[in-house]
A and B are shown apart, each in its own frame.
Chain A
Amino acid sequence: MRLEPIANPSALRRLGLPALALVATMAVAMALALVAGANPLAVLGQIAKGALGSKLAVLETLNRATPLIFTGLAVAVAFRAKLWNIGAEAQLYAGAILAVVLGTGVLGSPWVLPVSALAAMLAGAALLLGPVLLKTRLGVDEVVTTLLLNFIMLLFVSYLLEGPMKDPMGMGWPKSTPLIAEARLPRIVDGLRLHWGFALAIIAAVLVWVIQTRTALGFEIRAVGQNPEAARFAGMPVNAVLVKTALLSGGLAALAGWSEVAGLKGHLSSDLSPGFGYTGIIVAMLALLHPLGVILTAIFVAGIFVGSDAMSRAAGVPTYIADMLMATALLFMVLAILLTQVRVVRG
């Protein structure tokens, strides 16, 4: 079997194959529903209804999409420079910690929100900086170091919540003291559960898109990601570009945690993130690393998770079906993207 590049892929190919990947994922969903003893079409319907079927559902989906947009952006920015940031989970928690540290009364001024946001970004950036410097200075692969940091950070959070940051009125459950009112992100519309974090995520996506397509830094990031040797030859400061990418990526991931604490939950607990950092990878890949596409895929993925929760209560299919579908979608999608650019030829 050989792969032959296609010079000018047709629009049918470029749009049809990714669509086919999504259809294939739905087929897998139906198969899993059958295995679980439920009605496949009903399951699909209940997921859709749970995601978008009512005003409450839509808001829940958009809320769930907010951290995914941030981590999706973080991963998209990094992956474009071929920087394998698998540590968005740890960076997210770093942002969450800063939200609490600065949000429980230390700063009372009206500036507490932007200051804590900035501090959160710096914390996330710092966390990714270590692995990136190890990569540029010592050639240590960043995949494993960022992954291992996730586990270390989770343990650190657990330590903080049982110790220095413990809420004395928390009835024994490890969680932090709640944020003061000024440190909370307000609702977008009074009475609805959607908070300003969502709007900030959209703004962040647009900013990333502008950086990528219109600035010299964006050009450098793309060049370094595609061919670092050529970039170096042309005079681009490859290591500096990687560092800037890391700062941007880590900062974005941290905002996911910051907005969850400041916007949604109001406090930090160990179960703040059901894996948003890892899901961000799927969100980014499904969007083909396009910052604006990340908005759409984040909402899509959030919908699947929210819908599966609802469907699980109704139809009894385990909620893990959502995770399985996301992983399946990822694998189908990367295959589909490849097949838009090459055709399979015998011998």
Chain B
Amino acid sequence: MNRDEGAEVVLRLDRISKAFGALKANDGVSLTLRRGEVVALLGENGAGKTTLMNILFGHYVADEGGVEVFGQPLPPGNPRAALAAGVGMVHQHFTLAGNLTVLENIRLGTEGLWSRGQGGARAKVERLSRDFGLAVHPAAKVGRLTVGERQRVEILKALYRDARILILDEPTAVLTPQESEALFATLRKATAMGLSVIFISHKLHEVMAIADRCVVLRHGRVVGEVDTHATDKGALAALMVGGELSLPRAEARAAGTVLMRLMGVTTPDRGAAPGLKGISLELRAGQITGLAGVSGNGQAALAEIVGGLAQPAEGRIALRGKDVRRWSPGTALAEGVARIPEDRHHQGSIADFDLTENAVLEGYRSRFSRRGWMNWRAAREFAETIIADYDVRCPGPSTRIRLLSGGNMQKLILGRAMAPGPDIILANQPVRGLDVGAIAYVQSQLIAARDRGAAVLLISEDLDEIMGLSDVIHVMSQGRLSPGFARGTMTAAELGLWMAGQKFEGADAA
């Protein structure tokens, strides 16, 4: 680790405050960064980390407070000024144009719009690529790159612009453990060359591995600042949550009958997203089957198959021992398959519909209409029941769902899915983006369903969550499915090898 006592301060955030309507995202946050340091910015979802970095980079303007880079005040709300001052940001959702090449994405905005453009870009990119260990093909179209490759391009974008301060927003969310190691190697090279890094994460073991110092945010305020070697994961977690971390853990259970079976299912690739490659999977009653894997390895295809949104090109699906003939979301729902979608905004709800309308999206034909006429009274009562049973905080069933927080929206979707008493539940990233309270609630509901005898398929990017809740763990990589590993038989590192594809048959050493 490169830290010099008394190394110059390269970045100073001074009492930054920012409110969005009634929500105070940042409340008097101050932060300093010294040359050659890696500072981790920690906090649970909604703590204000990304907002703070967006203010630094100029995507937002702070209501109060200021930013100084290398001693000079930074004009707010101006990404161009931030870039010129040497601040580079690797966004959580990559800011790349898929129709352009790697080189074009890097050059975008670096030359005057009214100029003819200059040469030498390719040479510089190749040099940076070598120096920092970021292998890319400059002429490749970004739309065809893997997630790991795209992230390397994002980092090169910043380095190309001579960034002296690198901000990385949840960079390892989309990487395998091995790719994360490669990223850390790059960051160590960067700090050795005098760059300084701010690293947003909520993954404590990574933070402990790479950061010199940790700044913890909670509800928009700084609640702690510690040197990494003077603390441990437990202390950090306590700072993040403000108390004991008490996420539900599932206890071991005996497996029941096979409720759903996929046999040799294959689906076609779709662009960069791989299809399923002849996978076979069993979902048993009374079990949580966890699916680990970095996103983009076929989880979306599997969720579509289980949820009824796609038909297998090859292979069969069987429900309770009987082969399924025509598979569709309607059939799935009728057969007792509940789906919690990955994207509650785009798939799970209709933003301008009210809670009543959203509550009956799935059951309107079968349960809330008769011969084509809607029974809005029954629909409203149903919505009110869900709101009460699942503690959905809202003004009432006529509220437009876009006004609810993410956690409350997810609770409504959960309630809607569970209401018909399903015995097969597909939970796709069910707690992504939620605060700890909502996470605990959703997870306990899934465990309760399992205890009632349902078969739960849990797809999650969070390996900790999978390992904590699942009775059986499978790993997906490039559309292939690993065998099932019983609870407690695998370590994270071993699962990481499967996630990187290295343990699958025919894989060459990566």
Q: Write the residues of chain A forming the contact surface with B, with a CB cutoff of 8 angstroms.
A: 4-5, 7, 214-219, 222-223, 226-227, 229-237, 347
Contacts and interface: CB of A to CB of B under 8 A. Distances in A.
B401 to A, nearest CB: 11
B361 A217 contact: no
Contacts of A237: 330
A296 B278 CA distance: 60
* Nearest 4 Cβ contacts at the A-B interface: A235-B329, A234-B361, A235-B330, A216-B369
B400 to A, nearest CB: 9
A226 B309 contact: no
Nearest to A345: B61
Query: Which of A216, A218, A226 has the largest count of B CB atoms less than 10 A from its CB?
Result: A216
Contacts of A236: 361
9 contacts: A4-B21, A215-B372, A217-B372, A223-B357, A226-B350, A229-B346, A230-B349, A231-B350, A233-B329
B77 A347 contact: yes
A4 B23 CA distance: 13
Given A217-B372, A347-B61, A230 B346 contact: yes
A171 to B, nearest CB: 52
Contact of A234 (B329, B351, B373): B329
Given A216-B369, A233-B339, 7 more contacts: A4-B21, A5-B402, A214-B376, A216-B372, A222-B353, A233-B329, A234-B362
A227 B357 contact: no
Nearest to B365: A216
A237 B330 CA distance: 9
B81 to A, nearest CB: 13
Contacts of B308: 235
Interface residues of B, number: 34
Contacts of B332: 235
B459 to A, nearest CB: 15
A4 B20 CA distance: 9
Nearest to B352: A226
A223 B346 contact: no
Nearest to A218: B374
A230 B374 contact: no
Interface in B279-332: 307-309, 328-330, 332
A237 to B, nearest CB: 8
A235 B333 contact: yes
A217 to B, nearest CB: 7
- B77, B339, B349, B350 pick with most chain A CB within 10 angstroms: B350
Interface of B: 21, 61, 76-77, 307-309, 328-330, 332-333, 339, 341, 346-353, 357, 361-362, 364-365, 369, 372-374, 376, 402-403
Contacts of B329: 232-235
A7 B346 contact: no
A7 B347 contact: no
A274 B194 CA distance: 72
Given A215-B372, A232-B329, A227 B351 contact: yes
Contacts of A227: 346, 349-351
Given A230-B346, A230-B350, A234-B329, A216 B364 contact: yes
B347 A219 contact: no
B364 A232 contact: no
Contacts of A219: 357, 364, 374
B346 A235 contact: no
B330 A226 contact: no
A5 B351 CA distance: 13
B347 A230 contact: yes
A198 to B, nearest CB: 28
B272 to A, nearest CB: 19
Which of A215, A223, A234 counts the most chain B CB atoms within 10 A? A234
A14 B203 CA distance: 46
B378 to A, nearest CB: 13
A13 B348 CA distance: 31
Contacts of B372: 215-217
Nearest to B400: A7
B365 A233 contact: no
A214 B374 contact: yes
A218 to B, nearest CB: 8
A205 B346 CA distance: 32
B374 A215 contact: yes
A62 B309 CA distance: 49
A233 B309 CA distance: 7
Contacts of A347: 61, 76-77
Given A223-B350, A226-B351, A230-B346, A214 B373 contact: yes
A235 B328 contact: yes
A4 B309 CA distance: 35
A231 B349 CA distance: 9
Given A215-B374, A226-B353, A233 B341 contact: yes
A284 B369 CA distance: 28
Contacts of A214: 373-374, 376
B21 to A, nearest CB: 7
A223 B341 CA distance: 17
Nearest to A220: B364
Contacts of B361: 223, 230-231, 234, 236
Nearest to A5: B402
B309 A232 contact: yes
A233 B348 contact: yes
Nearest to B61: A347
B414 to A, nearest CB: 15
Nearest to A6: B21
A59 B332 CA distance: 56
Contacts of B341: 233
